[in-house]
Structure 1
C-alpha cells in the first residue's frame, strides 16, 4: 500500500458514544489522501469501540487502521504508539470526543505543499458546548497565516500552543525520531514532539479553524501505570494541574540539555502571561487550599512574573464563569484591534 499524505490519529479510551460523530466528520472531508489510525488503550469500552470501528471499516475498507494496545499505555504512550503505527507523511491528531471541521484536511495539505521543510502546523480551533452549533470560544493565535523558520523562534511560539491535542499536526518521521518514554505521565508528549521537531523543521500557523473541541468532558487520565500516582480519573485535582505544568517545564529543560536551545525563561514567562488557563478549573477551592496551590505554582518559577499574581487573584475573585466571559470578550476585541496578530 502506498503511504498517504496524512494519518488522522485517534487515541481511543472510553467515550465510545462520541466515536461515530468524530469518524463522520473525518470521512466527510473533501480530501482523499489520508488514513485513519485508531489505537484503543485497553479501556472499559473496548468492545463498544471495536464494534463501531468494525461497522465503519466495512463501508470504508482500507481507510481505517485499528489497533488494540495489549496494556494501557496512558495518554502520552498512546500518542507515541499512534505515531509508530501511522504511515502518513504527517500525523493529524484528533481527541476522541472532538470533531474535524469541513475542508480541514485539504487546508492542511495546501499548507504542506506551500511550505518547504514543514514540521508542525499550528491550528486555530473552537470549543463547543454540547452540540457543535453552540460555540463557546474560538482560539486564533494569528489573524493571518504565519511561517516560522526552524529553531528557537518557532519553538517558543508553538510550544505552549501545542497543548490541545485535537488538530495537532506534526511530521511523522521526525516525530518517530523523537520517540521517548521519559515524559510519560506529563499529558503533554506532543509538546516534546514540537520542541524536538522544530529544532530542524519549520512551522506554519493558520487562522483557519480546523477542529471543534468538546467542552465539559470529564478527564479519563489516571488509569495507566505512568499516570496512576498523579491523576484522579474524572477530575483535575490541584496536584494534577501542578504535575502537568511541571511536566511541560521539564520538557523544555530537557530540550536545553539536549540541544543547547535554552527557552526555559521565555516559555515560563509565556505560561505566566496566560496563567488563567492553568487554574481555570481550580477556582472553587477553599481559599486556604487555593493559596497553597498558587504557592506551589510559584515555586516552579512563576514568582518572577507579575502576570502570575494578577491571574491568581483576579480569577479567584471573579470566578470561572465571569472570567470566561471576560476573556472571551477580550479575545474578540483583540482580534479586531489593528495590532492583532501577535501570538497569544
Structure 2
C-alpha cells in the first residue's frame, strides 16, 4: 500500500544531527516511509551506520540510498522525489527536527486536504537563550488560489526546507536539472504546481528549523553545479549575493516558459520582507554592510519598496539583536508575520 507521506532527507556530513532527526519522528508507521539520500560526503560511512542502526530498531519503513557523485542540494532533492513512494513528499534538512506529537496531526491535516498539491507549513526556530520564534504566515488555515500572485507570495515562504510538502507525482513530472546550483529546487516545484493548482496554508507548527547555517559553516559549494556560486564554510557576502540572485534565475526560468510575470512580483515581495537578506551580513561591520546593502539594491533590485530602507537603516542604527527582538515582538503580538 502506498504511504500517504514520504519523509525525504537529503544527507550531507551530519550523522549526529541526522540521528536526532530520525529519533524525532513519532507518528503512525502505516502512514509514512522515510527516504534518506546521502550525497557522497566525507562522513558517508558514519551516515550509513546511523541509518542502518536506526532501521534495524525502527517500526518505520526506511530506505537508504547513496549518490555515486556529489549531486548537490538541488540534484539530491530531485533524486529524493524520484525515489519517494508516498503520495506526498516532505523534505527535511538533516539538521532539522519534528515537534513532539505534531506529525500525526499534520498527517490528518494532509488526509483532510488531499486534493491540494502543496502545503505551506508553519514552523519554529529556537534561538539562543531558548527564545522561540514562530513562523506563521496567516491568522488561520487558508486555502490559496492558483496563480501568479499566490506563487509570488509563497516564494520566500517556501525556501526553508523543513516541512516542505508537495504532491509527489506532480513534482516528478516537472523534474529538471537546469536550475541546479540555485539551492531553490523546492521553490521551483512549488511555483510550477501552484500556478495551476490550489494550495493550502497549515497554521500549526510541525517542525523546528535548526538553522545550522547561522554557525557560519554552510556546506553548499561542494558539487559541480555549486562550486562557481558558493564557497563552503562561510556565509560570505558573495555567497549571499549569489543566493539572492538565484531567486530571479528561477523566476525568469518560469517566466520564459509559462509567459508569467513572476520576476517583478517576487522582487517586490522580497523587498518587502528583505530583513533576513540584510541582517545576515550585519555582523561584518557597518562598512562591509553598507557595501553589501548597495549590491542588494543595484544587483537584486531590492530598493523597490520603502520597507527595504527601513530594515537597512534600522540595522545600521540599532544593530541586529535589537532589530531581531523587535520583529519577534511584533510577530508575537499579532500571532503571525504581518502581510504588507
Contact 2:146–2:194 (CA<8 Å) still a contact in 1?
A: yes
Contact 2:36–2:65 (CA<8 Å) still a contact in 1?
A: yes
**What is the number of residues matched between the two proteins?**
336
Residues in 2 aligned to 1:84 and 1:75: alpha-carbon distance in whole angstroms: 15
For 2:311, the equivalent position in structure 1 comes to 311
Name the Cα RMSD after superposition. 2.0
Residues in 1 aligned to 2:101 and 2:146: alpha-carbon distance in whole angstroms: 27
1:126-141 correspondence runs (5 A): 126-129=124-127, 134-141=130-137
Distance 1:135 1:3, change over 3 A: farther
Residues in 2 aligned to 1:184 and 1:57: alpha-carbon distance in whole angstroms: 31
Q: Which of residues 142, 157, 163 in structure 2 aligns to 1:161?
A: 157
Question: What TM-score comes out, normalization by structure 2 length?
Answer: 0.93
- SS in structure 2 at match of 1:227: helix
Contact 1:34–1:63 (CA<8 Å) still a contact in 2?
A: yes
For 1:10, the equivalent position in structure 2 comes to 9
Residues in 2 aligned to 1:84 and 1:30: alpha-carbon distance in whole angstroms: 24
1:98-109 correspondence runs (5 A): 98-109=96-107
- SS in structure 1 at match of 2:199: strand
Question: What TM-score comes out, normalization by structure 1 length?
Answer: 0.92
Deviating more after overlay: 178-187 vs 109-118: 109-118
1:1-344 correspondence runs (5 A): 2-26=1-25, 28-30=26-28, 32-60=30-58, 63-115=61-113, 117-129=115-127, 134-215=130-211, 216-217=214-215, 218-299=217-298, 300-335=300-335, 343=339
Consecutive unaligned residues of structure 2, counting only runs of 5 or more, are none
Q: By how many angstroms is 1:102 displaced?
A: 3.1
Contact 2:29–2:60 (CA<8 Å) still a contact in 1?
A: no
Consecutive unaligned residues of structure 1, counting only runs of 5 or more, are none
Residues in 1 aligned to 2:28 and 2:314: alpha-carbon distance in whole angstroms: 45
Residues in 1 aligned to 2:13 and 2:222: alpha-carbon distance in whole angstroms: 12
Residues in 2 aligned to 1:252 and 1:44: alpha-carbon distance in whole angstroms: 34
Distance 1:190 1:130, change over 3 A: same
